[in-house]
Amino acid sequence: MKRITIVCILAVSIGFIDCRKAKEDLQGGVITFAKGSVKLFDKAGKEKPSTPDSFLMPEDRIETGKDSYADLQLTDGVVIRIKENTSLILKKIFVDSKNGEMFADLNMNKGKIFSKVSTKLGKTSQFNVTTPTVVASVRGTDFQVEDNGKSAHTLVSNGSVSVTDADDPTKQATADAGEKVSSDGKDLTEGNLTDAEKAELENDSATIQSVTEEQRARIQEILKDFQENKALILQGMEDQKQRNRELIEGAKEENRKLLEDTKNAGKEEREAIRKSGQEEKEKVKSSMDDAKKDLENQRKSLKDQALPK
């Protein structure tokens, strides 16, 4: 099966989190609006909350149903609309607003995505979209990519997109504003947008929603809580490790004493001591197993701290 990659070159001056206030940029996206059936899943396939303010983290998947869509902001000036019946994975995301850099790798298995880039384009950043059919280099701002499994279409309302066949790099085509490039899996065809396609792009461009000031404040609170909780969890993990070490050292000392007692005891006494030692080992093992579960739960909660309640 072929793949299509849309590469946008972006120069991002600031992230959607104010770097003067936040210690680090959010390496993910935030849902700014959702309508209908919108579901979020982590990389393990576990469903997550999917309301405005929800975060899409690296390797998370978002799915929309019929007559549904969601707007997702990656950074200031970069917003995408995941349209109906679409499955999208945020494979990678890196935002460094202080230095004006951003890299995003989106994998669209099926459906339709509209992207709006209202910030100045540059050479330091990339915005990649991968679908099952062609490879495109996007140099424009407002564009749409759709794939139904049999064909792919790249529509441009503002800017320019260079499309390359995934299996044959010598096959290339370009779509400027008001144009499109279609692929049937074999050939690339250039053409003009229909009135209906133009109207669809114009509507998406006018209605797509960026993060609001209220959501921005909420993100700040979430990140602050996340950092504080992360510090507490890490300290708790260190405390648990220390308790584990103490348990191990205590078990070693107890075993040493048991061995000494065994040497000086009769058969019946040795058997009683052996049973006592076995019971003690089982208690230590049970305690260690519980401690491991606690550590694993604490590690998982590090990621969950970034999600709104």
Residues 110 and 145 reside in one and the same domain: yes
Residues 78 and 183 reside in one and the same domain: yes
- Residue pair 50/38 in contact (Cβ under 8 Å)? The answer is yes
Residues 234 and 157 reside in one and the same domain: no
Residue 173 falls inside a structural domain:
yes
Residues 53 and 139 reside in one and the same domain: yes
- Residue pair 104/92 in contact (Cβ under 8 Å)? The answer is yes
Residues 103 and 221 reside in one and the same domain: no
Query: Where does the pLDDT of residue 278 fall: very low under 50, low under 70, confident under 90, or very high at 90 and above?
Result: confident
Residue 254 is part of which domain span? 216-304
Residues 200 and 170 reside in one and the same domain: yes
What is the average pLDDT score of the chain?
A: 76
- Across the range 277-293, mean pLDDT stands at 71
pLDDT value of position 189: 92
Residues 17 and 34 reside in one and the same domain: yes
pLDDT value of position 5: 42
- Residue pair 100/120 in contact (Cβ under 8 Å)? The answer is no
Please count the structural domains in the chain. 2
Give the model confidence (pLDDT) of 106-120 as tens digits. Answer: 888 899 999 887 766
Last residue of a domain, one of 176, 211, 246: 211
pLDDT value of position 195: 96
pLDDT value of position 203: 94
Quick check: 45 pLDDT over 80? yes
Residue 309 falls inside a structural domain:
no
State how far the alpha carbon of 13 is from the alpha carbons of 100, 142, 215, 220, in Å.
5, 18, 20, 19
- Across the range 92-104, mean pLDDT stands at 75
Give the model confidence (pLDDT) of 245-264 as tens digits. Answer: 777 777 777 777 777 766 66
pTM for the model stands at 0.65
- Residue pair 105/26 in contact (Cβ under 8 Å)? The answer is no
E strand or H helix at 228: helix 213-263
Give the model confidence (pLDDT) of 48-88 as tens digits. Answer: 888 877 888 889 999 999 999 999 988 777 889 999 999 99
Residue 182 falls inside a structural domain:
yes
Residue 177 falls inside a structural domain:
yes
Quick check: 2 pLDDT over 50? no
Query: Where does the pLDDT of residue 230 fall: very low under 50, low under 70, confident under 90, or very high at 90 and above?
Result: low
Residues 189 and 94 reside in one and the same domain: yes
- Across the range 160-182, mean pLDDT stands at 84
- Across the range 216-229, mean pLDDT stands at 66
Residue 125 falls inside a structural domain:
yes
- Across the range 164-175, mean pLDDT stands at 82
pLDDT value of position 18: 42
Residues 241 and 199 reside in one and the same domain: no
Give the model confidence (pLDDT) of 120-129 as tens digits. Answer: 645 677 777 8
Q: Which residues contact 82 (CB under 8 A, 6 or more apart)?
A: 38, 62, 64, 69, 70, 71, 72, 88, 111, 113
- Residue pair 1/130 in contact (Cβ under 8 Å)? The answer is no
- Across the range 226-237, mean pLDDT stands at 61
pLDDT value of position 78: 82
pLDDT value of position 179: 95
